[in-house]
Amino acid sequence: MTASIYLMRHGMTRANREDRFAGRTDEPLHAEGVMQIKEIGCKLQKIGLAAIYAGPVARTRQSAEILSGMCGIPFAVEAGLTDISLPHWEGLTKEEIRQRFGSQYPTWKESPESFRVEGCETLADVQQRAVGSVEQIWRQDDGRRVLLVTHLIVACCLILHSSGRPLAHFREIKVANGDVIRL
């Protein structure tokens, strides 16, 4: 038997509400995000999860902690599920990014698979890191249902990988805060 892996984007944060790029900032859930996760937790209780893994920043850990308590199962932090490293964009709105990094932003929007900036991760880097973590979880949790709590960019990269589609299709994938997808 093989594991059933469910992927979830963390709950709503203030940065999500303000259309800011959070990246690896340690931002907690907004009150709306806490409510989202509790609503999802009621549904997840019914599928028999055995474990939860979360990226290391506050919003993914907090989402996992709420779900862990509701489902009565442990959660562990998995570094490979952390968000993309784009430190010079963290905390900025999309408009601020356009103004400060105008030459970079069109590539990020139009062909993100080609986006490369020194000192930052590419989508291929994120996908490779996240897939490595999922494969490790897959092996160790064989036969169990597990939930991975992560970020939009990581979720899109994992969905594309699991469906055999190239990163050029990145913008076609839509994952809202609190969405749960079975890989």
Q: Could you report the per-residue pLDDT of 62-94, keeping only the tens digit for each?
A: 999 999 999 999 999 999 999 999 999 999 998
**Greatest extent of the chain over all pairs of C-alpha atoms, in Å:** 51
Mean pLDDT (the chain, rounded):
94
Q: Is residue 165 left, alpha or beta, with left meaning phi > 0 and alpha meaning psi from -120 to 50?
A: beta
Domain that holds residue 55: 4-182
CATH of the domain at 135: 3.40.50.1240
Query: Cβ–Cβ contacts within 10 Å for residue 19, how many?
Result: 10
**What's the pLDDT tens digit per position in 14-45?**
999 999 999 999 899 999 999 999 999 999 99
What is the number of domains present in the chain?
A: 1
Could you write out the three-class secondary structure of 46-81? HHCCCEEEECCCHHHHHHHHHHHHHHCCCEEECHHH
SS3 179: coil
Q: Which two tokens stand for residue 157?
A: 């990269």
Amino acid at 27: E
φ, ψ of residue 135 to 5 degrees: the values are -65, -40
pTM of this prediction exceeds 0.85: yes
How far apart, in Å, are the Cα atoms of 124 and each of 31, 44, 174? 33, 30, 18
